[in-house]
Amino acid sequence: MKAKITLKDIARELEVSISTVSKALKNSEEISRDTKEKVQAFAKLYNYKPNNIAISLKNKRTKNIGVVIPDIVHHFFTTVIRGIEKYANARGYNVIVCLSEESFDKEVINMEMLANGSIDGFIMSLSSETQEKGDYNHLKEVTEQGIPVVLFDRITNEIDCDKVIIDDELGAYMATKKFIEQGKKNIALITTDDYLSVSKARTMGYIRALEESDLGVDERKVLKLPSMEMDEKSIKKFMDSQELDAVLCVNEIFAVYSMRLAQQKGLKIPEDISFIGFTDGLLSKYANPSLTVVSQHGEKMGEVSAKMLIDKVESEEEEETYQTKILEPTLVIRDSIFH
């Protein structure tokens, strides 16, 4: 086991000072060609690599970014992480992932763990419990300390920071309008309670599209589940209780599950009933029939978030100007609606 070599080791071995070694490795003008070559050769031979922790302590920069998200098993968050990771890595940053599991307490603990020097900034999406409580003091604390934060997807207006979202209202509007154009009359929405910022926006888009048409909104056609968790019973009950010819779902799982319920009733998709979901995951692609979705461009979102965060981290200025980037959703047409 050959332990890591330090500047001190090189200095001792070569009988020069630590400062000389440090400068020589940085190709400083101050050091003679001779010494530099000697030091560099020695360093290469023993595979010297500077200790990241020491550098972090000195620079007060860790080159780590903290990502706090509710869940990682959901396809959307996974793609966001991938976007963040790719971009951050390209700029020399590492990504520390923490899961809040939709819990307020875990979110707070995770942030506190990271906020004490472990990271240069946060990228996060709020847990449902946090959005439900409306308590954002942990975010305030962090931003007040001067740690940059980028909020994506599940955001709040109570915190001044950079934000990245897709236009959820528009996405739902587009989807609903599509149904209407295709002659659907009884268009349902399966979503969650309004405390989730995204669900609220999507519900608004759905309502706007219906109000613009002759159809109007029928409250019985809207199912609001308490959370993003699967709730087979409620969906089944909802689907059985009325005649529908189109269903917009706030995620792909709800959509695929309700498609199956429709199929079990002998309905044909998309002739008798059409479906659109949110999130362009594997499920949508390989469902039978394949599911038309509003794509949230998770990877792009991650990339944009990471760029905003790192730019802020590396900017010298203390300007406190924050922006909200709104990405355009796109409809990915598949076999669950008419082409």
Partner DNA sequence: ATGTATCACGAAAACGGTTTCGTGTTAATA
Partner DNA sequence: TATTAACACGAAACCGTTTTCGTGATACAT
Residues in contact with DNA by the rule CB under 7 A: 4, 6-8, 15-20, 22-23, 25-26, 30-35, 48-51, 53-55, 57-60
**Min dist. Cβ of residue 213 to a second copy (A):** 31
Per DSSP, 263 falls in state: H
Residue 72 binding partner per list a second copy, DNA, none, with a CB distance cut-off of 5 to 8 Å that depends on partner kind: a second copy
Residue 186 has which token pair? 């009884």
Those residues whose C-beta lies under 8 Å from the C-beta of residue 295, and which sit 6 or more positions away, are 279, 280, 329, 330, 331, 332
- CB of 323 vs DNA, minimal distance in Å: 29
315 contact, one of DNA, a second copy, none, CB 5-8 Å limit per kind: none
- Is 176:183 a contact under the CB 8 Å cutoff? no
Q: Is 8 in the site for a second copy (CB under 8 A)?
A: no
Residues in CB range of 134: below 8 A, 6 or more apart: 156, 158, 195
Query: From residue 241, how far is each of 37, 43, 87, 277 by CA, in Å?
Result: 81, 74, 47, 21
- Choice from 117, 242, 315, 323 touching a second copy (CB under 8 A): 117
**For a second copy, how many residues bind (rule: CB under 8 A)?**
56
11 lies in the site for a second copy, by CB under 8 A: no
Shortest separation between residue 278's beta carbon and a second copy, angstroms: 15
R_g over Cα of the chain: 26
The CB-of-16 to DNA minimum distance in angstroms stands at: 4
CB of 143 to a second copy, least distance (A): 9
Burial 46-77 (b: 16+ CB within 10 A, else e): eebeeeeeeebeeeeebbbbbbbbbbeebbbb
Query: HSE of 208 in the Cβ direction (CA atoms, 13 Å)?
Result: 14
Which residues sit at the interface with a second copy, rule CB under 8 A?
1-4, 47, 49-54, 56-57, 62, 64, 72-73, 75, 78-79, 81-82, 85-86, 89, 92, 94-99, 110, 112-118, 141, 144-146, 253, 256-257, 259-260, 263, 281-283, 286-288
